[in-house]
Structure 1
Amino acid sequence: MALAKTELQDIYQQLHQIPEIGMEEYETQAKLLEIIQHLPQDHLEIKTWKTGILVHLTGANPTYTIGYRTDIDGLPVAEKTGLVFSSQHPGRMHACGHDIHMSVALGVLSRLAESRPPVSVTFIFQPAEENASGGKQLFESGVLGKWQPDEIYALHVDPTLPAGTIGCREGTLFAGTCEIHAKFRGKSGHAAFPHDANDMVVCGANFVSSIQTIVSRRIDPIKSGVVTLGHFNAGTTGNVIAGECQIDGTIRALTQDVNLKIQNEVRRIAEGTAATFNCDLELDLHQGGYLPVVNDPRTTPEFIDFVKNSDYDYQEMPPAMTGEDFGFMLSKIPGTMCWLGVDSPYSLHSDRMVPDTSAIMAGVGVFAAYLQEKARQVSHSGKQD
């Protein structure tokens, strides 16, 4: 039998209590496997990859595969929701809604497992979305093999939308992101003798100020990008000139071209600042698998039309500067990502983010019905041949 609403609510609460950082999701993997192994197994195959899980539902004609992906990791956030089923892992929380994502995926899988679909469906329970480009690692490992989807789908919770509302758009949904890690090394010294030292507070301040000109003066105004430097660490006390400065931040852009242009500008400014202040530089610009989430021009209108013609609420969404490593998967496999409204006053990654769990059944309903319909359409079109 397909997992019922009460069962999925209970599963959500169990998963919410065991958040784990990417590539450490051992308890989460065990819980997911326990649930999946109680579903009808007639046409299911299960294999693990690191802390992730692949579940393949073999269709009547298995030469075409539709994919559905969920992320499974949590965040290094200490929960302050006050829920009776709060995180049991200190300093860890499902503050980005991956517990909702997993619950929806299990609900969809349980419905599709009840009968054999016309074509195959691969469910990907992916680790390390938040911290280690888990989607890129999984894809490049080759573990998908013959189970690799021909098209793929995923969702992400949105606290700003009413619970159960599906938000989507054609083209770019989420930005591509890139981490900035810059360390400048000069010479520490006494505050009274600045000429005998090489002050990395002044150097770092110059770098921070110069970075602000990238988007305002180097990027086309009708294109979108942002550079945020959120961490600046230098020195130990007020009367000692700092010999080192560590600065960390992020780049966000709606196209990969703009992201790469900003990366080049950050590098140019960092190297120029180091030359100006006659100091050493260590610069790491790390994008990994966090490419822009660009919805496919074929699958996305089909998905949007399906939702609009269903009993579920649909909302057209603007692009967002949030990042998601599903962007890498979409760069390799055509597909679509959407938002699922969970109606919370607190934002994603907040230590007080509590989603409206009625959204779980909406997510299950939309994607179970859509994947079943898409499988029928593909089968009738002869694409599997």
Structure 2
Amino acid sequence: MMINKFIQMRRDLHQIPEIGFQEWKTQQYILNYINTLPSEHMEVKTWKTGVIVKVHGRNPEKTIGYRADIDGLPITEETGYEFASLHEGMMHACGHDIHTTIGLGLLTAFVTERIDDHLVFIFQPAEEGPGGALPLLQSEEFQAWKPDMILGLHIAPEYPIGSIATKEGLLFANTSELYIDLKGKGGHAAYPHTANDMIVAASHLVTQLQSVISRNVNPLDSAVITIGKITGGTVQNIIAEKARLEGTIRTLSVESMKRVKERIEAIVGGIEASFQCTAHIDYGAMYHQVYNHEMLTQEFMKFTSEHTDMDVITCTEAMTGEDFGYLIRDIPGFMFWLGVESEYGLHHAKLQPNELAIEKAITFLTTYVKWKGNRA
């Protein structure tokens, strides 16, 4: 049976997931495909492990951008696919293989049927971390082709095929990684009074952090602190000199993120005093909220509803994070969810998006971009 070329492309990409700023095979795959397309009106640049493509318009007044993220996750795949990841311990568990394929499908449509306005396709690395959008935005390569508006999508396992979901304003939360290192004094398990136990300190710290959301964030706002990993100690009969907590912070406002971090720092200071230890806090990668441009989002939803066969759902904001937020902080634009109806969710080892969503997305986005970028 012949497989649609874009489904095959997604499967090819699915087999070579790579973590942020190490997407060399993915970059080469994208470049190899681009080299098969008509190049008369197309320019190509690389930025780190990403790719930027410009298709020149016939009579341009503006530049429309489409962004696709290209990196994978350090997850061992459990889908049972015949085309499962060939990279041990790595998986496209967030749909970036589909995002990239849709971007290449749109590019294919517009190099053969140009529109009035310029188009820029951004295949961005490192969305999952450490964050590619902000340094990309600041780069000379991007600034030279900076679009006047930009759009992007993210697959949504919970929505059916043939649907999109979005809203004006806040769509995704502000996010920040959280790493806290504690250092005390180790010793023999039989003599706890001679040591400062960092396992006990870490346990107290985890418990105290749970009060930040319930007692320091407005109940009408929303925020999350999750500690997902604790490490400390060496063997059962040695008091741990060091402990490390790793987690994430999510808030629906910039102000709440600032307040949560202030409280975390105050609590950690109390732990230092209580347990006679030292502590270091690292917030790692921080992503700005995805805040959709109101007029553009309303216009997109109305057009999609009236001129395509896609169902349009007005969703609520989510605590997920996306570094696309940096791009639309600087450039008017929007992001939307694309329904792929998978039993398993994002970042799950068994995520299996319905591949029929790929062709549907390419078709309806081609229709939208033609309408948005033509003046006839």
TM-score by length of 2: 0.96
Q: Which whole-Å deviations, capped at 9, do the CAs of 1:58-101 have from their partners, x for residues lacking one?
A: 11233411110000111111111111111111111111101110
Residue of structure 2 aligned with 1:13, choices 2, 11, 14: 11
Change (3 A) 1:366 1:5: farther
Task: State the distance in 1 between where 2:37 and 2:261 align.
Answer: 47
**1:35-54 alignment runs, 5 A limit:** 35-54=33-52
- 1:105 CA drift (Å): 0.7
User: Given residue 291 of structure 1, which amino acid in structure 2 is its aligned partner?
Assistant: H
**1:180-329 alignment runs, 5 A limit:** 180-288=178-286, 290-309=287-306, 310-329=308-327
Task: State the distance in 2 between where 1:286 and 1:317 align.
Answer: 29
- 1:106 CA drift (Å): 0.9
Unaligned runs of 5+ in 2: none
**1:69-148 alignment runs, 5 A limit:** 69-148=67-146
Task: State the distance in 2 between where 1:188 and 1:115 align.
Answer: 69
Partner-residue secondary structure (3-state), 2:294:
coil
Task: State the distance in 2 between where 1:374 and 1:294 align.
Answer: 21
Which 10-residue stretch deviates more, 321-330 or 256-265? Answer: 256-265
Q: Which runs of 4+ in 1 moved over 6 A?
A: none
User: Given residue 198 of structure 1, which amino acid in structure 2 is its aligned partner?
Assistant: N
- 1:276 CA drift (Å): 2.1
Task: State the distance in 1 between where 2:175 and 2:143 align.
Answer: 28
Partner-residue secondary structure (3-state), 2:327:
helix
Partner-residue secondary structure (3-state), 1:144:
helix
Partner-residue secondary structure (3-state), 1:215:
helix
Which 10-residue stretch deviates more, 326-335 or 137-146? Answer: 137-146
Partner-residue secondary structure (3-state), 2:141:
coil
User: Given residue 148 of structure 1, which amino acid in structure 2 is its aligned partner?
Assistant: K
Change (3 A) 1:111 1:88: same
> Residue in 2 aligned with 1:383?
none
Task: State the distance in 2 between where 1:351 and 1:343 align.
Answer: 16
- 8 Å CA contact 1:263–1:285 kept in 2: the answer is no
Q: Which whole-Å deviations, capped at 9, do the CAs of 1:174-208 have from their partners, x for residues lacking one?
A: 11110111011111112222221111122111111
Superposition CA RMSD, Å? 1.5
Task: State the distance in 2 between where 1:238 and 1:116 align.
Answer: 67
Change (3 A) 1:5 1:154: farther
User: Given residue 178 of structure 1, which amino acid in structure 2 is its aligned partner?
Assistant: S
Partner-residue secondary structure (3-state), 1:340:
strand
Change (3 A) 1:331 1:5: farther
Task: State the distance in 2 between where 1:53 and 1:344 align.
Answer: 29
Which 10-residue stretch deviates more, 365-374 or 95-104? Answer: 365-374
TM-score by length of 1: 0.94
Task: State the distance in 2 between where 1:146 and 1:191 align.
Answer: 62
Matched, 1:343 2:341: yes
Task: Tell me the number of residue pairs that the alignment of Structure 1 and Structure 2 aligns.
Answer: 374
Unaligned runs of 5+ in 1: 381-385
Which 10-residue stretch deviates more, 232-241 or 355-364? Answer: 232-241
- 8 Å CA contact 2:129–2:285 kept in 1: the answer is no
- 1:5 CA drift (Å): 7.6
Task: State the distance in 2 between where 1:280 and 1:330 align.
Answer: 39
Which 10-residue stretch deviates more, 236-245 or 291-300? Answer: 236-245
- 8 Å CA contact 1:78–1:91 kept in 2: the answer is yes
Which 10-residue stretch deviates more, 300-309 or 268-277? Answer: 268-277
- 8 Å CA contact 2:168–2:292 kept in 1: the answer is yes
> Residue in 1 aligned with 2:174?
176
Task: State the distance in 2 between where 1:112 and 1:345 align.
Answer: 34
> Residue in 2 aligned with 1:368?
366
Task: State the distance in 1 between where 2:255 and 2:364 align.
Answer: 34
User: Given residue 306 of structure 1, which amino acid in structure 2 is its aligned partner?
Assistant: F
Partner-residue secondary structure (3-state), 1:67:
strand
